[in-house]
Amino acid sequence: MTEALIPLFTLIILELILGIDNIIFISILADKLPKEQRNKLRYWGLSMAVILRLGLLALISWVIKLDNTLFTLGNIEFSGKGIILILGGVFLLWKSTKEIYYKTEHAKNETLSTLPKASFKSLLFEIIILDLVFSIDSIITAVGMVNELWIMYTAVIISVILMLWASKPISEFIQHHPSFKILALSFLMLIGVALIGEGLKFDIPKGYIYFSMAFSFIVNLIQIYTNAEPKSKE
């Protein structure tokens, strides 16, 4: 039992790191809804994430086959997983670029129409699309780390519970600091590029990606603190 704790703990950490992407994406979309519906979207979005992950674990033999080569184009081998990651990456790039445009150029140009309203169902559908992409990626990664299904199930359930607990304060922090909204969208663009690269068999080490995200986050925190400090002294 003790030997299983190390892979279980490692897998929980991995699921939490991958879950940050979900929380950021959900937080950005939830900002479009009335305040009373934001928590509902977060809970539904993360609940769908755990349902998809547990469902894919039940179909583990099919998920593993997604990593098999379907066809080769030039020197690049394409698998079912690769195609899904590429499509998910393109979707993230498109969505992030669109959101950045609306929060910058669109917001300051009074001649443009108001920001298009989004329905709860349409936003939830977008979240499910990304949940599916991240779920397939995380499940195939988990299969390469552990062999016991109970460890995968336990790690998924614990990580999602922790994400549900952390999603509200993270979302509120992003909403209260406009600069972090743009930074968060930039993170999603970076993740989109990484997904496309992984789908094309050009792997970008995830450690580099999350280190750069953490560094940018810390720099932005320092800027907020230094800008707020003079006001507190007045």
pTM of model > 0.75? yes
Strands (E), 38-138: 69-73, 76-79
Unique residue bearing structure tokens 């937080």: 27
Q: What is the pLDDT of residue 113?
A: 47
pLDDT band per the 50, 70, 90 thresholds, residue 57: confident
Give the pLDDT band (50/70/90) at residue 93: very high
CA–CA dist 124, 44 (Å, integer): 8
| Of the listed ranges 32-41, 153-162, 224-233, the one predicted with least confidence | 224-233
What span, in angstroms and rounded, lies between the C-alpha atoms of 192 and 180?
18
**Which ranges of 68-119 does DSSP label H, i.e. alpha helix?**
80-103, 105-108
Average pLDDT, the chain: 81
Q: pLDDT, tens digit, for every residue of 127-159?
A: 888 888 888 877 777 777 777 778 888 888 888
Name the β-bridge partners of 112.
none
- What confidence score (pLDDT) does residue 94 get? 92
Across 76-85, 126-135, 148-157, 171-180, least confident range: 171-180
Alpha carbon distance, N-terminus to C-terminus of the chain: 58
How many residues in total does the chain contain? 234
Phi–psi pair at 205, nearest 5 degrees: -50, 125
Between 2-30 and 35-58, two packed helices, what is the crossing angle to 10 degrees? 140
Residues 177 and 58: their CA atoms lie apart, in Å, by 40
Q: Could you tell me the two tokens for 86?
A: 């590429």
Reading the block at residue 51, the tokens are: 């349902």
How much is the pLDDT for 71?
85
Q: Is 74 left (phi over 0), alpha (psi -120 to 50) or beta?
A: left
CA distances from 194 to 144, 210, 218 (A): 19, 11, 21
CA distances from 160 to 1, 17, 121, 172 (A): 23, 11, 21, 19
Element (H, E) at 202: none
- Contact status, residue 140 vs residue 43, Cβ threshold 8 Å: no
Determine which of 107-111, 168-172, 217-221 has the lowest per-residue pLDDT on average. Answer: 107-111
d(CA 15, CA 176): 26
